[in-house]
Amino acid sequence: MTDVPHTQQYEAELGDYFALLKPRVMQLVVFTALVGMLAAPQSVHPVIGFASILFIAIGAGASGALNMWWDADIDAVMRRTAKRPIPAGKVEPREALYLGVALSGLSVMMLGLSANLLAAFMLAFTIFFYLVIYSMWLKRLTPQNIVIGGAAGAFPPVIGWIVATGSFSVEAWLMFALIFMWTPPHFWALALFMRSDYDDADVPMLTVAHGRPATRRHILIYTVLLVVLAIGTGFTAVGGYVYLTTAVILNAMFLLGAYRIWQRDEDDAEGDNYAVERKFFRLSLYYLFLHFGAILVEATLRGWGLTGGGVS
Amino acid sequence: MSLNKEHEIHNRRRGRNTGVGLMLGGFVVLILALTYVKITQTDFSNAPVNAGTSEVSD
């Protein structure tokens, strides 16, 4: 080697590598996978449960690192992502790739050992889906990127359920569907008020490809579908009175927010700096957290024998 | 400039190494706990009596 690497001006801290794992996404993954595991009819030994959730979280983090490696070029031009470790020059892309591959292998192998092979397979599939199907293929190709890519974020409760039961079930797929249907309105609201970010990065978000009025219409359509699904879940085995009450209140608020977004045009939105869109986005975070919280409460009540599950 | 002077980069490396060390230690403890739980939870009463002994019978 004759050339001295010029990049070693900054030596990464542990926290920079941790940031590659998208800790905020990991929080959601940990919570939804935990709910999936605890809502299942079979109980899991606390040590096995803890280890399995940890390995699911590491797998999710690994896919985050691989996503940052692949998307470093567009992250650099978007305001929201420009401070991520790679575009900020704190970590080299190659390091993110190696970390992602190593943690993917470790997490899948260890989940196979701590829980079961089906859970490990589903974790591997989730990483593959997020990296190859979403990041490499769909994200830069179609405005439906978020719709199909949302599946990657929806798998954790299914994996949690499989950790406990070793098999798939309708209830697990209902939890999957809840996140899957929630993802598009959540991200499209973000795309509305992050304005030029996706335009600058040439990512064909709905706002860029079909325009803002179409995005507002899509948010309302997906929210209506989500409302039907979320309230319908209340009448299944994972639901109950607590869940149903929570779902009715949250979905009424969410639907009202989507309706308001649909009614507005860009002039209205610019007039109040996208207040309605920002509020809807914030509400969407509580929406998912509280729905899964309610499923967890129902599971706990069933565990204490206080409810039979379901409302019917 | 003294050769022993501690550079900010040394602190950063120390922090990183300590972090990795703690994580590896935690991983070892976790594997130990998992192994213990797996062994104590598994029902070995139905395991074949001669399992693993045929090769060394002579």
User: How many domains does the structure of chain A reveal?
Assistant: 2
Residues A109 and A150 in one domain: yes
Q: Do B16 and A12 touch (CB under 8 A)?
A: yes
Residues A113 and A236 in one domain: no
Using one digit for the tens of pLDDT, what is the confidence trace for A198-232? 777 778 888 888 888 999 999 999 999 999 999 99
- Which residues of chain B fall below pLDDT 70? 1-6, 49-58
Residues A100 and A194 in one domain: no
ipTM of this predicted structure = 0.80
Residues A126 and A261 in one domain: no
Q: How many CA atoms does the CB half-sphere of A94 hold within 13 Å? A: 1
Looking at chain A, which residue has its C-alpha nearest residue B19?
A14
Last residue of a domain, one of A168, A197, A216: A168
Residues A139 and A178 in one domain: no
Using one digit for the tens of pLDDT, what is the confidence trace for A143-198? 888 888 889 999 999 999 999 999 999 999 999 999 999 999 999 999 898 866 77
CB pairs A-B closer than 8 Å: 27
Q: How far apart are CA A102 and CA A111, in angstroms?
A: 14
Report yes or no on A304 lying in a domain: yes
Structure tokens at A248: 């009715």
Instruction: Please give the radius of gyration of chain B, using alpha carbons only, rounded to the nearest integer.
Output: 24
CATH assignment at residue A73: 1.10.357.140
Q: Do B33 and A47 touch (CB under 8 A)?
A: yes
Residues A163 and A44 in one domain: yes
Domain span at A144: 12-168
Report yes or no on A1 lying in a domain: no
Residues A128 and A188 in one domain: no
Q: Do B41 and A45 touch (CB under 8 A)?
A: yes
pLDDT at A101: 98
Residues A176 and A145 in one domain: no
Of B19, B20, B37, the CB nearest to A47: B37
Number of Cβ atoms within 10 Å of the Cβ of A240: 25
Structure tokens at A54: 């940890």
Q: Is A45 on the interface with B (CB under 8 A)?
A: yes
A121 vs A81: which has the higher pLDDT: A121
Using one digit for the tens of pLDDT, what is the confidence trace for A81-91? 999 999 999 99
Residues A158 and A253 in one domain: no
Cβ atoms of A300 and A238 within 8 Å: the answer is no
Number of Cβ atoms within 10 Å of the Cβ of A123: 32
Residues A162 and A289 in one domain: no
Residues A128 and A61 in one domain: yes
Residues A200 and A299 in one domain: yes
Closest-CA distance of chain B to residue A55, Å: 11
Inter-CA distances, A272 with A24, A87, A264, A295, Å: 28, 31, 11, 36
Mean pLDDT of the residues in chain A:
91
Q: Is B26 on the interface with A (CB under 8 A)?
A: no
* Stretch among A12-26, A36-50, A197-211 having the lowest mean pLDDT: A197-211
- Residues from chain B that touch A51, judged by Cβ atoms under 8 A, are 30, 33-34
Which of B9, B30, B32 has the highest number of chain A CBs within 10 A, making it the mutation to test binding with A?
A: B30
